[in-house]
Each structure stands twice: as structure tokens, then as C-alpha cells.
Amino acid sequence: MSIEIRSVELRRVELPLVRPFRTSFGESRDKVAILVRLDAGDVAGWGECAADLEPDFSEEWIDGAWAALTSFLVPSLMAGGPLERPEEVAERLRWVRGHRMAKAALEGAVLDAWLRSRGESLAAFLGAERDRVPCGVSVGIAPTPERMIEEIAGYVERGYRRVKLKIEPGRDVEIVRAVAEAFPGVPLTVDANAAYSLVEAPVFEALDELGLLLIEQPLAHDDLLDHARLQARLRTPICLDESIRHARDAAAAIELGACRVINIKPGRVGGYLEAKRVHDVARDQGIPVWIGGMLETGVGRAGNVAAAAMPGVALPGDTSASDRYFHEDLTAPFMLDADGTMAVPKGPGIGVEPLPERLSATTTRVELLRPDA
Ligand code: OSB
Ligand code: MG
């Protein structure tokens, strides 16, 4: 049951978002992603690259990831011949430093094909123990508190179990207080996307009074020490996102006291296998985790929802329904039940496939790579 790669197809897809998504580093109006389709003869596998158009959330970006995939990652993967185990993908790509989102897309496609050939779901492979997962929603920065409250009211009505507010300097304590007062009893979190420094600790001391579930990535993307210093001054748990690149970062962050919660994004850490390792490290240390998102299409969302079913995932994730992002997803839509939970895909691999007509309607670039080319 080895995977023999016949070809790897890269596709750039572009989907308009239902509303612009604004964070501390800018605004997105469209979701642009690279999809990877791996043809292994009897089976095919799909992966999605989480990189965005610009290198703001991470050092990676779409065109850079495309170049990393075509120049180095796909050729290195193919050069090794048939694959017996999904772990061999990371082994073949290890010499390329970084580029975790690009690697995750490729590993995801191999893993999907490998699991399909065995008839096993990604959720089962990851040790999932649930068939439904509770979901939260991430709310972009709105021009006014009133607009933010209006948007949130819609999500709360839909059943979302937790609301995450994006904050930035100047749009933080007052907005968050207004939302907390408007929605008493709704679990609230904030995400600063690394927009602050330790001298702004008083902002977080003020947020500390608002009963938030957690404060996500307040300080620099590559910092642990200042996060530990800030955490020592707060009762509210700090949750790291950008700062956790792999399981070793997770172990270091926990030992340093830099966080008390971790946001796991399979794309950010280089794939589902490393996401599971981050989960395992945190679980051993009694640190709750949840599954984040990067506004993925149904292909990436399927894997994120499978990961959210792992036993150590203790908080609702940013695994929102398709209609929170898109008028039409690439796959059959992911739907939220009135109780704020979503079904974990059960079929082999990621359990979903992009719909051919949606693929052709959204694709703006294609490149096919073959082993001997
Ligand atoms: O920091 O969690 C983040 C989206 C894009 C990039 C970074 C982040 C986000 C989100 C939205 O917060 C998560 C989602 O709904 O997919
Ligand atoms: Mg975040």
C-alpha cells in the first residue's frame, strides 16, 4: 500500500469573502489559497496551503509558497520514490528550512491519498474521540463597536460557542468591554496578532478585568520570554498562535510559562503530524489546546475539524461554518448545528473533495509537476 506519485498539481484558487476580514496587520477581501492535488494512481489526495497573499501573519506568502513547492519541495518529495509512511514526507523535506505552510499542503495531500488507500479517516488516524466538535468564530476588527456588536449578535444567534475579537492598539479595551457587556455569558477571547510590546502591559492588565477566556498572541511572533513576563502579571491565560512553530516551541513555551493555552494550526506547524505532536506535548503538560484557522476553504477546514476531534482539544476552535467565510465553498458546505457543533468528516482521508465546477470557477493558475520532468 505504498504511495507512488504520478503527478502533483498546484492550483491557485480565489474566493470572495462574505465580508472583509480585518486584523492588526491588514484587511483581506478574498481568500486566496494553493490547493495541492496528488495523483497516486488508484487514489488522489488533496492539501491546502494556509499562506496568505502577503507575508504578514507568517514569513510565507502564496507566490513564495508556490515557488518553494515547484523549485524544491515537490522535486525532493518525488525524488525519493514510492512512500511507505506519511512520516517520510517530512524526512524528505527536512533539508528545506522553514516553509511550513507549503510543506503542510504537500504532506496533507500525501496523507489524504495514503489514508484513502487504507480506507481510514484523518480523524481516526489522529486519534479522534468525538464525531462532533464545538465551534467558535473569529470576528475581524470593525469600524465601530456598534457594527462589531451587530455582527456578533448574528453569530451568537447561530449558536457559536465562543467569540474571538481581533484587537489592535487603540481598538482594544473599550471595544472588548462593550462586547462583554452586550453578551454576558458568551465566552470571549481576544487576538492581537502580535501587535503589542511588553511596555503596553497595562492594556492587558485592563483586559484582565473583563473575564476573558484567553488572550491570544499579544506580543511578537518570535517571542517567548516577554510572553512569560506578561503571563506572570495576568490571571487570564495567554494563548500562543504565531510563536508556536512546532512541538519543540510548544514544550519551551510551556516550560517558560509563556502561555497556558495553545492555538494549534496544522498549516502553521507544518502539517497534521506535527499538529498531533503539539497536541501530545500540551496534553502531557496539562495545557489545553484548540484548533485555529486561516480562513481555509473546505479542503483545509476538513482537516482542521478532524484535528479538533483529538482528545486534548479542550476549547472551541476557529472552525466556523463555510457560510461564515464564503457564499459558496469549494466543497460541500461545513454547517453548524443550532448547538454550535459541527460534524467531523468520517469518510476516508479528509473525507471531502472539491467540487469540479467550484474548482473551475475559482482557479486562476495551474501547474502540473511530474517525477521525470
Ligand atoms: O490569528 O488566528 C489568527 C485568520 C487568518 C490569519 C490569522 C488568524 C485568523 C483568524 C481566523 O483569526 C480564523 C478562521 O476563522 O479561520
Ligand atoms: Mg491568532
Tens of pLDDT, residue by residue over 189-219, are 999 999 999 999 999 999 999 999 999 999 9
Given a cut of 80, whether residue 232 has pLDDT beyond it is yes
Given a cut of 80, whether residue 7 has pLDDT beyond it is yes
Model pTM score: 0.97
Helical axes 247-256 vs 272-284, angle rounded to 10°: 20
Task: Say yes or no: CB of residue 69 within 6 Å of ligand 1.
Answer: no
Name the residue of 151, 318, 319 to mutate for ligand 1: max ligand atoms within 8 A of Cβ. Answer: 318
CB distance 161 to 371 below 8 Å: no
For the beta carbon of residue 133, count every other beta carbon within 10 angstroms.
26
pLDDT of 144 reads 87
Each residue's pLDDT tens digit, 83-92: 999 999 999 9
What is the Cα–Cα distance from 262 to 81, expressed in whole angstroms? 36
b/e for 68-102, b at 16 or more Cβ within 10 A?
bbeeebbebbbeeeebeebebbbebbeeeeebbbb
166 CA from centroid of ligand 2 (Å): 8
Task: Say yes or no: CB of residue 57 within 6 Å of ligand 1.
Answer: yes
Task: Say yes or no: CB of residue 353 within 6 Å of ligand 1.
Answer: no
Each residue's pLDDT tens digit, 117-132: 999 999 999 999 999 9
20 CA from centroid of ligand 2 (Å): 17
Given a cut of 80, whether residue 1 has pLDDT beyond it is no
- Strands across the sheet with 44-49, in order? 44-49, 26-39, 7-23, 363-369
How sure is the predictor about 143, in pLDDT bands with cuts at 50, 70 and 90? confident
Task: Say yes or no: CB of residue 352 within 6 Å of ligand 1.
Answer: no
268 CA from centroid of ligand 2 (Å): 11
What is the Cα–Cα distance from 137 to 21, expressed in whole angstroms? 12
What is the Cα–Cα distance from 247 to 123, expressed in whole angstroms? 20
pLDDT of 373 reads 57
Mean confidence (pLDDT) of the chain: 97
Domains and CATH numbers, the chain: 7-119+355-369 (3.30.390.10), 123-343 (3.20.20.120)
Residue length of the chain:
373
How sure is the predictor about 372, in pLDDT bands with cuts at 50, 70 and 90? confident
What is the Cα–Cα distance from 265 to 45, expressed in whole angstroms? 20
Q: Which atom of ligand 1 is nearest to the CA of 295?
A: 16
- Distances, alpha carbon 120 to alpha carbons 18, 83, 116, 267, in Å: 34, 17, 6, 21
294 CA from centroid of ligand 1 (Å): 5
Residue owning the nearest CA to atom 12 of ligand 1: 138
Given a cut of 60, whether residue 112 has pLDDT beyond it is yes
